[in-house]
Amino acid sequence: MPKVLLPIGDGTEVLDTMYPYFRLPEDGYQVVVAGPEARWYHMVIHEIPPRSDPPWDITRESPGYHLQAAVAFRDVNPEEYAGLFLSGGRAPEYLRYDEHLLAITRHFFQTEKPVACVCHGIEILTAADCIRGRRVTTVAKCRLDALQGGAQYLDQPVVVDGNLVTARTWHDNTWLLKHFVQMLKQSQVCQ
């Protein structure tokens, strides 16, 4: 069964992460969760509360589920994986400093394997210098991260550019996974 790497950390967004975690096996892909260490991680729920008084200008963070990383970034051999899925939440804010994760990320671009990225995951792509000259989308508050990474930002649900498919938030998961699964299948055919 081909494997897809799913990096997480404390503060990983629940829906950004759990949708691909359960969706990808439906098409025959094993999802391998990786983190700074092989341990349990605390996920969070990011939502702008509806009808709150006073209203929120940005997402509120609430505790979510927990998910175990099976492997530490330093022990990942990226050659064993068919694709990479970068989820959002606050985790990318500190995961982008992990040199092992950045090297893993660069591998997927150097080998042109499929990469999916949603929301704050763009921070990892920018830190790895993998989006320069590409077209991407992300959550509006990370637009600057995309621009600083040298990408062209588009405010639309999904953007496909070569081996990369990006989405704004978990609200776009259906379209993001549709394109990512197509890319994975096409990549497998070409091998």
Which residues are the active-site residues?
120
Q: How many CB atoms lie within 10 A of CB 131?
A: 27
Of 168, 135, 129, 121, residue with least CA distance to 148 = 129
Q: Are strands 83-86 and 115-118 parallel, antiparallel or unpaired?
A: parallel
Cα gap 120→125, rounded to integer Å: 10
Maximum Cα–Cα distance for the chain, whole Å? 55
Of 153, 111, 150, residue with least CA distance to 132 = 150
